[in-house]
Amino acid sequence: MIQKRLKLAATIAVIFMASNSINAQGNKSSLKKTFNNDFLIGTAMDAAQIEEKEPNAAKLIPQQFNAVTPENIMKAEIIHPAWDKYNFDLADKLVAYGEKYAIKINAHNLIWHSQLPAFVKGIKSTDSIKIFFENHIKTVASRYDGKVYSWDVVNEALNEDGTLRNSIFLQKLGPDYVTEAFRLAQQASPHAQLYYNDYNIEEPKKRAGAISLIKKIQAAGVKIDGIGIQGHWHLGKVPFKNIEESIEEFSKLGIKVMFTELDISVLPSPFDHNTADVNAKAQNNIKMNPYPNGLPDSVQLVLTNDYISLFKIFLKHKDVISRVTFWGVNDTQSWLNDWPIPGRTDYPLIFDRKFQPKEAYYKLIELAKHKK
């Protein structure tokens, strides 16, 4: 009797495991195929994924995405670690990866005040900053001309009130540095699409700052092809109205609109305002990490609904939206597990920790199918 029961339990376990693995392998749908006539669908790739060292991601990325952004490896601190030293190894591998799988590469990024190499932070003289600025853009952008689809030329130049952030570039080069960065990028990489990228630019004041920045670049006769709204938002607080208004206003400038770093954090924020400033930090405590062992269904449902509402807006404006990129392949990779508080468990993406599609994934596929 006991043996029979054990045998039954073992059989059930085998069936259960088999059905799980059918689910794991059996998802035949594809974001990139389903949204093919709408916009590109992208993801951010980390170093291990670029080297195809992560089997699940190696399978999932070419199946689901037709655009990728390097999460870190093309940032100045990695690609340009010392005054005369460039480290192109992983960026070259990313280019080869893109060619192999016919995936478009959005290079991220040329000019940003964060993740700068230590030597730049130590520079005191204006002339040296100018030389760094020019050499960096010329060297990096020209190497990848014709190899990457696009560049985030300037990242996060604006304050929340729409004024220019008091970065090392503003201090040393003055307010025209953004236009100059685009001018240099255009010369160095004439085949790339050139974008301005920032967070919270859907909010009215910062949006107005972005609009004047773009108008200034255009008035100088310098090329700018698009604007990236990063899209780091919080569950139940996604600013849908501001997002839709921004798509409309930005597209009136004759440029493409993109959502470049999409994720929806389900965790409480330690701040009283939305931010994606990588330098922001806060302390951990139990209240700040409510779901270490799994996401309750009720919260999952809100996540699904937020993604549905967001993609309804994206699809409505697909004529001006050229790309929607998630900031990471699955929840394990998300930077939100360690920012702004280290060691939390967040669930912001549409593939879970086992690389399984979440409910939101299937709903987005359905949504796109029904739109056609």
**Residues labelled as active-site residues:** 156, 261
Q: Give me the least distance between CB of 44 and ligand XIL, in Å please.
A: 7
47 scored as a contact of ligand XIL (CB under 6 A): no
Closest residue to ligand XIL using C-beta atoms: 335
Between residues 66 and 260, which has the closer beta carbon with respect to ligand XIL?
260
Contact 350, 365 (CB under 8 A): no
320 scored as a contact of ligand XIL (CB under 6 A): no
Q: Give me the least distance between CB of 48 and ligand XIL, in Å please.
A: 12
Between residues 27 and 256, which has the closer beta carbon with respect to ligand XIL?
256
Q: Give me the least distance between CB of 276 and ligand XIL, in Å please.
A: 4
Give the whole-angstrom CA distance, residue 256 versus residue 250.
8
Residues, the chain, total? 372
* Token duo for residue 301: 């449902």
Residue with tokens 């920012």: 339
Give the whole-angstrom CA distance, residue 21 versus residue 14.
10
71 scored as a contact of ligand XIL (CB under 6 A): yes
Between residues 261 and 346, which has the closer beta carbon with respect to ligand XIL?
261
202 scored as a contact of ligand XIL (CB under 6 A): no
Q: Give the type of residue at 193.
A: Q
Q: Which of 38, 54, 202, 261 binds ligand XIL (CB under 6 A)?
A: 261
Q: What angle do CA 230, 160, 280 make, to 5 degrees?
A: 70
State the DSSP string of 169-235.
HHHHH-TTHHHHHHHHHHHH-TTSEEEEEESSTTSHHHHHHHHHHHHHHHHTT----EEEE--EEET
Residue with tokens 């309804």: 312
Which of 81, 77, 75, 43 lies closest to 62 in space, CA to CA? Answer: 43
Q: Give me the least distance between CB of 74 and ligand XIL, in Å please.
A: 10
Q: Which of 123, 168, 220, 278 binds ligand XIL (CB under 6 A)?
A: 278
- State which of positions 322-351 bind ligand XIL (CB under 6 A): 335
Applying CB under 6 A, the site for ligand XIL has a residue count of: 8
Residue 158: partners with Cβ closer than 8 Å, 6 or more residues away: 164, 165, 198, 201, 206, 209, 210, 213
276 scored as a contact of ligand XIL (CB under 6 A): yes
Between residues 157 and 188, which has the closer beta carbon with respect to ligand XIL?
157
Q: Which of 30, 63, 72, 218 binds ligand XIL (CB under 6 A)?
A: 72
- State which of positions 129-158 bind ligand XIL (CB under 6 A): 155
Strand partners, 265: 234
Stretch 87-126: interaction string toward ligand XIL, x if CB under 6 A: ----------------------------------------
Give the whole-angstrom CA distance, residue 92 versus residue 68.
14
230 scored as a contact of ligand XIL (CB under 6 A): yes
| Residues found near ligand XIL in the complex (CB under 6 A) | 71-72, 155, 230, 261, 276, 278, 335
